[in-house]
Amino acid sequence: MDFDGDITPPTKPSLDITLAALKAEEPGAVSAAIYYGLSGLTEAELEKLRAVWPALSADYRRKVMQELAETSESNFDLDYRAIGLLGLKDEDAAVREAAIETLWIDESPELMNRLLEMAQWDEANEVRAAALTALGRFVLLGEYEELPESQVTKLQDVIVGLWADEQEDLNVRRRALEAIANSSHEIVPDAIEEAYESREPLLKISAVFAMGRSCDERWKDWVLREMNSPDAELRYEAARAAGEIGITEAIPLLGRLAMGNDRETQEVAIWSLGEIGGREALRILSALAEDAAKLDDDDLIEAVDEALSNASLVGGDIDFDTDDD
């Protein structure tokens, strides 16, 4: 169920109505009563939910939590922190993983410490990997000196330790690399190079992702090379990394990717053109805007318009007329 942030939300239903909907609709659709009723739970309401939640089937708990996670990214008026924290303790791994995604906006020390525990000790590797992905934002907070130094040290030590353990699960290691790349930790350059040179394709993809996260120009040539990769995931990550690093030499390649048929790569290439800016990026984006208008592609129009706004801020105005008359 999608919500338009411009639409005034309905009145929040009572918890009794919400709990009745949860019980009645299993294993069917997730109704508006559930979406809105589970938002902004008080401690008293959460206690009542705790009595009902475990009795729902694992499949339905999974469905509800996954849809709440998706909805929370498009409707900022909904607050699923309480049920998200409840979901972190669910016996089902997929519910715990979705709960982590539901809490994507939470930057509290309470959540950081819980995620650190999950990254190390959760019985499901996919949950540990998801916890590390979420910890990446806390690594960035530490880099901005918005966390106490003692917490930053603890955070980085755990993540680096998981990366350095070659016996560790592959997805756990790669998410650890991606998370620590948000920092200036001394291990980052060597870790990225090690992952890139690995024979594991997934580690190489994470290495290119980490190159972008590091915002380090030392990776420029590596990123440019992977923009021509036959592997679609590598091309995607390289296109994003080019924007994060600000590689002006990537603009022609980004223009080509932005006009391709792979929608995800097209959108990230458009985003990167907006991040880099400059006259050539603006010219390409203007041409893409015309094409998107002809196709009547609203999503593409929105992506290009946003990139044009960013590019104009970075690289000056959008007037390409050089005539002197």
pLDDT digits (tens, 9 = 90+) for 209-223: 999 999 999 999 999
Backbone Cα Rg of the chain: 22
pLDDT tens column, 307-317:
999 998 875 44
* pTM score, whole prediction: 0.91
Residues in the chain: 325
Q: Give a three-class secondary structure readout of 26-87.
A: CCCCCCHHHHHHCCCCCHHHHHHHHHHHHHCCHHHHHHHHHHHHHHHCCCCCCCCHHHHHHH
Residues with Cβ within 8 Å of residue 201, at least 6 apart in sequence: 231
Mean pLDDT for the chain overall: 93
pLDDT at 230: 96
The Cα–Cα gap between 244 and 210 comes to 10
Read off the pLDDT band of 27 (50, 70, 90): low
pLDDT tens column, 110-150:
999 999 999 999 999 999 999 999 999 999 999 999 999 99
Given a contact cutoff of 8 angstroms between Cβ atoms, the answer to whether 236 and 264 are in contact is: yes
Read off the pLDDT band of 274 (50, 70, 90): very high
% of the chain residues with pLDDT over 90: 88
The Cα–Cα gap between 236 and 261 comes to 13
3-state SS assignment for residue 202? helix
Read off the pLDDT band of 24 (50, 70, 90): confident
pLDDT at 310: 94
The Cα–Cα gap between 62 and 40 comes to 20
pLDDT at 322: 40
Instruction: Report which residue type is found at 265.
Output: T
For residue 318, which of 269, 274, 282, 292 has the smallest C-alpha distance?
282
Question: Domains in the chain and their CATH numbers?
Answer: 1-103 (no CATH), 107-195 (1.25.10), 215-325 (1.25.10.10)
% of the chain residues with pLDDT over 70: 93
CA 198 to chain centroid = 24
H helix intervals, the chain: 15-25, 32-37, 43-52, 58-72, 81-87, 93-102, 109-121, 125-143, 149-164, 170-180, 188-197, 201-214, 220-226, 232-245, 251-258, 263-276, 279-295, 298-315
pLDDT at 314: 79
Mean pLDDT over residues 143-169, rounded?
Answer: 97
b/e per residue, 17-39, with b = 16+ CB within 10 A? Answer: ebbebbeebbeeebbebbbbbbb
The Cα–Cα gap between 148 and 56 comes to 40
pLDDT at 10: 64
Mean pLDDT over residues 313-322, rounded?
Answer: 53
**Which structure tokens are listed for 1?**
């169920």
pLDDT tens column, 251-272:
999 999 999 999 999 999 999 9
* Cis peptide bond prior to 27, omega within 30° of 0: yes
